């Protein structure tokens, strides 16, 4: 008899299994595909491998700025594809070894829940006290005529291309769409992004999102917001995308059309509906313990409503098993960092300016441009800024970064927001010079009207 059976070996499931073992539980983990889930196999890690290729290419394109000369530079996406696969396999092997070291029984197969406490995995019965659903998500396809035409693909398929398309249309201006736009633009594709909403990256602070739009256009990526796609048609070797903005009908031609219109929970085949598990618009409903309305069945990650982020799923997995064993822990959803691996990078944590306004907060903002940061200038990476939001008690409630190494800089922002630190806490912390992190210090100082490397406010 297991104490816990985890369905899904992604960042939510395998982390929950490991933490459960640390707490003394007997655990089995069921995975029908590959350990690591979407994040490792078809999401975060493969795209970051390609992103690194793009980083190198962008650096090579600017060699003259650094007084470096090189000839006969070329790029082979097929080779990058092979490298991406090696990265994925290596990390998947590491997860498998970790689970083995923690003595988590890994069962390969497709699971269904026959009853609370009873799993059926490809004909094998597994008895357990608790069941944790960590099955993740899958691409959500829009209701547009022509999405089944050859050449219209999802992000899963995009990662299997071995040559960049000459022309790429991306439907959806969220994180997935913008990351692929930047990567494949650098690989040599002519990229158009079509977004139905008024703004790209709709969950971000609007100032940051607007600046991203400007930076995309600066890279010659065409961006169409407030534009609806009406149909996709095959015309010879070309795809024709017909769309409409507020004024006109538009048409784009492409070799590949990427559907980047979000993701939806993947819970098919588990038998949850037959057991009476409650859903909320496709998401499994859970309480503060991440337990469903059916006792003994829990759910985390993309299967439930909330940020669809790997690190959130991991944290929810940890909190779930800790609460199973009587520990008082909770996910700090107001301090969830989020990163966009674009050019430049974006990273945020805490409240946006718009969220602060909706909550009726009295707040102040501080900003510092990377163009005034010595390290950024030396790097030749001056696009972007750091923006800090503080309440009327000078507590920092949001940190928003667009610029070089934003995904690394936001770690400090996460600590600040999570621990309810004040402007003075940051101001009185010595930041080494010359570093990009000084931009966060200066933004915090600016929120208090004391920035040292900006001209005084008038």
What CA–CA distance (Å, rounded) separates 373 from 363? 25
Copy the structure tokens of residue 193.
């992004």
Model confidence at 455, in pLDDT bands (50, 70, 90)?
confident
What kind of fold does domain 2-138+264-331 have according to CATH?
Answer: FAD/NAD(P)-binding domain (3.50.50)
pLDDT of residue 123: 86
Model confidence at 456, in pLDDT bands (50, 70, 90)?
confident
Chain-centroid distance of CA 130 in Å reads 29
Q: What are the start and end residues of each CATH 3.30.390.30 domain in the chain?
A: 335-447
Q: What is the mean pLDDT of residues 139-147?
A: 94
Copy the structure tokens of residue 167.
């022309």
User: What's this model's pTM, rounded to 2 decimal places?
Assistant: 0.96
- pLDDT above 90 for 344: yes
pLDDT of residue 71: 87
Question: pLDDT tens digit string along 281-294?
Answer: 999 999 999 999 99
- Given 400, 420, 433, 453, the catalytic residue: 433
- Indicate the SS3 state at residue 439: helix
Phi/psi at 187 (5° precision): -75, -10
What kind of fold does domain 335-447 have according to CATH?
Answer: Enolase-like; domain 1 (3.30.390)
Compute the half-sphere exposure of residue 254: CA atoms within 13 Å on the CB side of its CA.
28
What CA–CA distance (Å, rounded) separates 229 from 177? 15
State the DSSP string of 182-220. Answer: HHHHHTT-EEEEE-SSSSSSTTS-HHHHHHHHHHHHHTT
pLDDT of residue 227: 97
What kind of fold does domain 152-261 have according to CATH?
Answer: FAD/NAD(P)-binding domain (3.50.50)
Question: pLDDT tens digit string along 431-450?
Answer: 999 999 999 999 999 999 99
> What average pLDDT does the chain have?
96
Chain-centroid distance of CA 283 in Å reads 19
Question: pLDDT tens digit string along 174-206?
Answer: 999 999 999 999 999 999 999 999 999 998 999
Question: pLDDT tens digit string along 315-329?
Answer: 999 999 999 999 999
Question: pLDDT tens digit string along 84-94?
Answer: 999 999 999 99
Chain-centroid distance of CA 181 in Å reads 15
Q: What are the start and end residues of each CATH 3.50.50.60 domain in the chain?
A: 2-138+264-331, 152-261
- pLDDT above 90 for 251: yes
pLDDT of residue 54: 97
Question: pLDDT tens digit string along 112-141?
Answer: 999 999 999 988 999 999 999 999 999 999
Contact 13, 29 (CB under 8 A): yes
Q: Which residues pair with 11 in a beta bridge?
A: none
- Indicate the SS3 state at residue 314: helix
Question: pLDDT tens digit string along 4-58?
Answer: 999 999 999 999 999 999 999 999 999 999 999 999 999 999 999 999 999 999 9
pLDDT of residue 258: 98
pLDDT of residue 125: 95
- Indicate the SS3 state at residue 64: helix
400 is catalytic: no
Question: pLDDT tens digit string along 358-402?
Answer: 999 999 999 999 999 999 999 999 999 999 999 999 999 999 999
């Amino acid at each position: 008899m297991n104490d816990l059976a985890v369905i899904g070996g992604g960042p939510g499931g395998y982390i929950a299994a490991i933490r459960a073992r640390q707490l003394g539980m007997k655990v089995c983990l069921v995975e029908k595909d590959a350990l690591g889930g979407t994040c490792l196999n078809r999401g975060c890690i493969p795209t970051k491998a390609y992103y690194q290729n793009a980083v190198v290419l962008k650096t090579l394109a600017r060699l003259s700025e650094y007084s470096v000369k090189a000839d006969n530079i070329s790029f082979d996406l097929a080779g990058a594809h092979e490298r991406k696969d090696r990265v994925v396999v290596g990390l998947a092997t590491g997860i498998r070894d970790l689970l083995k070291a923690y003595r988590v029984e890994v069962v390969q197969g497709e699971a269904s829940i026959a009853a609370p406490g009873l799993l059926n995995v490809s004909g094998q019965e597994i008895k357990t006290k608790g069941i944790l659903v960590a099955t993740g998500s899958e691409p959500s396809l829009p209701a547009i005529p022509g999405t089944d035409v050859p050449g219209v693909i999802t992000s899963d398929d995009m990662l299997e291309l071995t040559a960049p398309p000459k022309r790429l249309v991306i439907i959806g201006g969220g994180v997935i769409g913008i990351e692929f736009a930047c990567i494949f633009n650098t690989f040599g594709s002519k990229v158009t992004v079509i977004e139905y909403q008024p703004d790209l990256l709709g969950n971000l602070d609007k100032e940051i999102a607007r600046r991203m739009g400007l930076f995309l256009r600066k890279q010659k990526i065409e961006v169409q917001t407030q534009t609806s796609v009406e149909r996709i048609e095959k015309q010879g070797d070309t795809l024709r995308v017909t769309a409409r903005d507020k004024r006109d009908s538009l048409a784009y031609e492409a070799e590949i059309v990427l559907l980047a219109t979000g993701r939806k929970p993947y819970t098919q085949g588990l038998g949850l509906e037959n057991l009476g598990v409650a859903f909320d618009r496709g998401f499994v409903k859970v309480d503060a313990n991440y337990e469903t309305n059916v006792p003994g069945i829990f759910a985390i990650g993309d299967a439930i409503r909330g940020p669809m982020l790997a690190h959130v799923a991991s944290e929810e997995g940890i909190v779930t098993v800790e609460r199973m064993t009587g520990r008082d822990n909770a996910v700090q959803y107001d301090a969830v960092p989020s990163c966009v691996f674009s050019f430049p990078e974006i990273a945020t944590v805490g409240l946006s300016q718009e969220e602060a306004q909706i909550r009726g907060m009295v707040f102040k903002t501080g900003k510092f441009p990377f163009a005034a940061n010595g390290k950024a200038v030396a790097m030749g990476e001056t696009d972007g800024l750091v923006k800090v939001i503080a309440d009327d008690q000078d507590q920092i409630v949001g940190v928003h970064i667009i610029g070089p190494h934003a995904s690394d800089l936001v770690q400090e922002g996460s600590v600040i927001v999570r621990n309810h630190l004040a402007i003075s806490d940051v101001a009185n912390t010595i930041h080494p010079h010359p570093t990009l992190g000084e931009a966060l210090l200066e933004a915090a100082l600016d929120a208090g009207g004391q920035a040292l490397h900006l001209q005084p406010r008038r």
